[in-house]
Amino acid sequence: MFRHVFKLLAKLDKKDIIRLYFSIIILTVVAVFELVGLALIAPYATLVFDTDSSLTKNEYWISVYGVFEGIDHSNFVFYVGLFIAAFVFLGNIFSIFSVFMVNKLSCYFGARLSVLLLMSYLEKSYLFHKETNSSILINNITQQCQRVVNGVFMPLMIMASKIITILLIGIGMFLLDPIATIISTLILFFFYMTLFLVVKNRLTSIGKAISTIYESQIKVLTEALTAIKLIKLNSLENQKIDELKFLAEQLANNNYLKTSIGQSIRYIVEGILFGVIAIALAIISQLDQSLLQILPTLVLVTLAGYKLLPCFQTIFHSLATIKSEVNAFLKFESHLKKEDNCQSKAVRFEKSVNFKQVSFSYPDKYKVLDSLYLTINQGEKIGIVGSSGGGKSTFIDVLLGLLPMDSGSILINNKTVVTRDTFIDWKNSVGYVPQEIVLVDGTIASNIAFGEDYIDEIKINDLLEICGLNRFVLGLDKGIYTKVGERGLKLSGGQRQRIGIARALYREPTLLVLDEATSALDSLTENQLNKSISNLKDKLTQVVIAHRISTLRDCDRIYVFGKGNILDFGTYEELMIDSTYFQRLAGKTNDS
């Protein structure tokens, strides 16, 4: 358990480490105040109950009393009591300050951890995101990070403060009575270790179950809210409600067990500690001393027990909490490790891209691309067709630099060579439009100028005209500053696709990749849009995956993909004459 805790603490930055050290210093000061306050009460009790004897026989009180000349005994006792009360009050002020400081450190660490985790996910390879459910990542950044803060880091800080208090009180007790302190410590250690060994495995299993349930909850909620149309059409509301209800009940059951175990331990610890105090008092009472002689020791042991009881309860409760919640950190600990990413090569598309024997396969799968040869020259319009699963989209991902090839090489502009140990960084020279456009819950303008601080309204309006959306936007009350809704649900499928194309053109790329990007448009609108793009002043190089093959008539070259290979290539007219497979594809798609 503590091995994982140390790994968690390793994620602290320099500022957090300084705050942590400062917190430990303050917690130590608080513990010193508690110890000194505790040590003062026993002599003070003797002073109160036997003032005359204390001021004539006790060297400590005689020296202190000598400072206050002209004060009678009763006033001296009052002033000493006032000083002790002020000292304890000052210690409580430090305690309050330490509470705020520890909570601030914990919460800021949680914020840093969530940012660190998002940063790590954004730096992960595209392949990682293709193979990892996004609901798991969202759950890690939100729920699991919060569990780490509330269930690991904060209890750890609280436990540290109580351990410091116990150590200082223990040292004081040892100096007063070594035998009673050693016996009490051994008894406590035995009972605590036995108790912790009994519950630790149960707490671990509860923590793992809670982590799994949180993941499932996020997944069910994501599916329910993103597929709301299908759920309503198929009357699946009750099914999703039942799924969430089952998970909620499982979560409630595990949380109740975790909380109950942590709280019930308090009473066991209380009984054990009172037993130890009773044993210590019994040992002290057997000493051959008068009641007044052992009174300070009896008072000190009783007060020490009073102080130690909540400390031990808190430590054990913190240990139980950490044991059950540390699994939250284990869920994403590996994600914080940096990948051995391939070296990037920054390039701009200027002349050509040549694929030479490029192969790619997903982990534990057959080759999706197998020894691919392909050429794209500047200014050309390249068409990509083929049956589903033929490797078209994977080829696009490799071209965009999202997926590293397994073997082969890519020659860019006849000089830059990209191999399996590198990937392409196009530096905004490539515009990409997927079939499913992702729009943020913002304005039309912010979605087109995606990620840009400055919005060029003139450029946006020009692009809206190219994409055939200018009339639609002019009819809106707020124009380009109209909100599109979550995932662009206020727009039609065709409107979303055209905003996606405008977004790709906004950065003025030299290579435009369209992955079935006009499938939601009617044939007339699609033809008009293609014509507008082709007529741009700086002729774009285009790579187009098309559903309707008839829209590829004006392509300089069409590559026919099948089973990871290029089966045929040529112009539309050449393929319609020479390629039976292309003819079949054209026959299927032209009817759709």
Question: Is residue 564 a contact partner of residue 370, using CB atoms and an 8 Å limit?
Answer: yes
Retrieve residue 543's tokens: 């790579």
Locate tokens 């939100």: which residue?
142
Q: Give 280's pLDDT tier (boundaries 50, 70, 90).
A: low
> What are the structure tokens assigned to 37, written together?
């306050």
d(CA 574, CA 554): 12
Query: What pLDDT sits at residue 560?
Result: 92
Adjacent-strand bridge partners of 412: 353, 416
- By the 8 A CB rule, do 165 and 303 touch? no
In DSSP terms, which residues pair with 359 in a beta bridge? 407
User: Measuring CA to CA, which residue among 369, 348, 352 is closest to residue 557?
Assistant: 352
> Residue 37 is inside which H or E element, if any?
helix 14-49
pLDDT of 492 strictly over 90? no
More confident residue, 254 or 7: 254
Report the percent of the chain where pLDDT is more than 70: 81
Structural domain count, the chain: 2
Q: Cα-Cα-Cα-Cα dihedral of 47, 53, 299, 290, to 10°? A: -170
Q: How far is CA 452 from CA 54, 456, 503, in A?
A: 79, 9, 11
* Residue written as token pair 């331990």: 265
The pLDDT of residue 342 is: 59
- Between residues 190 and 439, which one has the greater pLDDT? 439
Same domain? 169 vs 69: yes
With 80 as the cut, is the pLDDT of residue 249 above it? yes
Residue 570 pLDDT class (50, 70, 90 cuts): very high
Whether residue 207 contacts residue 323, with contact meaning beta carbons closer than 8 Å, is answered with: yes
pLDDT tens per residue, range 530-556: 777 777 756 788 999 887 787 888 899
pLDDT of residue 113: 85
CA atoms within 13 A on the CB side of 233: 4
* Radius of gyration of the chain, Cα coordinates, nearest whole angstrom: 36
Predicted local confidence at residue 290, as pLDDT: 54
Q: Are residues 298 and 382 in the same domain?
A: no
At position 153, the amino acid (one-letter code) is F
Tell me what pLDDT residue 559 has: 93
Same domain, 282 and 361: no
Mean pLDDT, range 353-381, rounded to an integer: 88
d(CA 497, CA 516): 10
Statement to judge: residues 177 and 208 lie in one domain: yes
Q: Give the pLDDT confidence of 437-454 residue by residue, as tens digits.
A: 888 888 888 888 887 878
Give the span between the Cα atoms of 312 and 270, in whole angstroms: 9
Of 20, 215, 26, 12, the closest CA to residue 110 belongs to: 12
Element counts in the chain: helices (H) and strands (E)? 21, 12
SS3 call for 401: coil
Q: Where residue 417 sits, what CATH number does that domain have? A: 3.40.50.300
Q: Is the pLDDT of residue 106 over 90?
A: no
Phi, psi values for residue 560, rounded to 5° = -100, 115
Q: Are residues 412 and 315 in the same domain?
A: no
Contact by Cβ (8 Å): 3, 323? no
3-state secondary structure of 556: coil
Distance CA 419, CA 424 (A): 9
Provide the pLDDT for residue 592.
Answer: 44
Tell whether 476 and 432 lie within a shared domain: yes
User: What pLDDT sits at residue 168?
Assistant: 79
Q: Mark which of 275, 305, 336 sits at the end of a domain.
A: 336
- Whose tokens are 């589903």? That residue is 388
Residues 570 and 427 in one domain: yes
For 70, left (φ over 0), alpha (ψ -120 to 50), or beta?
Answer: left
Whether residues 352 and 289 share a domain: the answer is no
pLDDT band for position 508 (cuts 50, 70, 90): confident
Q: Which of 336, 363, 378 finishes a domain?
A: 336
Together in a domain, 375 and 498:
yes
Alpha-carbon distance of 280 to 199, in angstroms, equals 28
If asked whether residues 107 and 83 sit together in one domain, one would say yes
pLDDT value, residue 231: 76
With 60 as the cut, is the pLDDT of residue 288 above it? no
- Please write the tens of the pLDDT for every residue from 383-396: 999 888 888 889 99
Query: How far, CA to CA in Å, does 93 sit from each of 181, 338, 392?
Result: 30, 43, 68
What one-character-per-residue DSSP string does 195-257 give? HHHHHHHHHHHHHHHHHHHHHHHHHHHHHHHHTHHHHHHTT-HHHHHHHHHHHHHHHHHHHHH
Does 298 share its domain with 371? no
pLDDT of amino acid 591 = 44
Of 286, 318, 336, the residue at which a domain comes to its end is: 336
Asked whether 354 and 411 are in contact (CB, 8 A), the reply is yes
Residues 350 and 299 in one domain: no
Give pTM, 2 decimals. Answer: 0.72
Q: What is the pLDDT of residue 564?
A: 85
Rounded to whole angstroms, the Cα distance separating 180 from 133 reads: 58
Pairing of strands 407-412, 352-361: antiparallel
Residue 558 has pLDDT above 90, yes or no: yes
* Domain harbouring 302, CATH code: 1.20.1560.10
Q: For residue 344, give the H/E element and its range.
A: strand 343-346
Task: Indicate if the pLDDT at residue 131 is higher than 90.
Answer: no
Top-ranked range on mean pLDDT: pick from 247-261, 275-289, 508-522: 247-261
Provide the residue range defining the domain that includes 244. 2-336
- Bridge partners of residue 566, in order along the sequence: 561
For residue range 293-344, list pLDDT tens digits in order. 555 566 666 666 666 777 777 787 788 778 777 777 777 777 777 665 556 6
Amino acid letter, residue 428: N
Averaged pLDDT of the chain: 79
Q: Give phi and psi for 348, each to the nearest 5.
A: -125, 140
Give the model's confidence band at 69: pLDDT under 50 very low, under 70 low, under 90 confident, else very high. low
Name the token pair of 145.
Answer: 């990070």
Instruction: Please report, rounded to a whole number, the percentage of residues in the chain having pLDDT higher than 90.
Output: 6
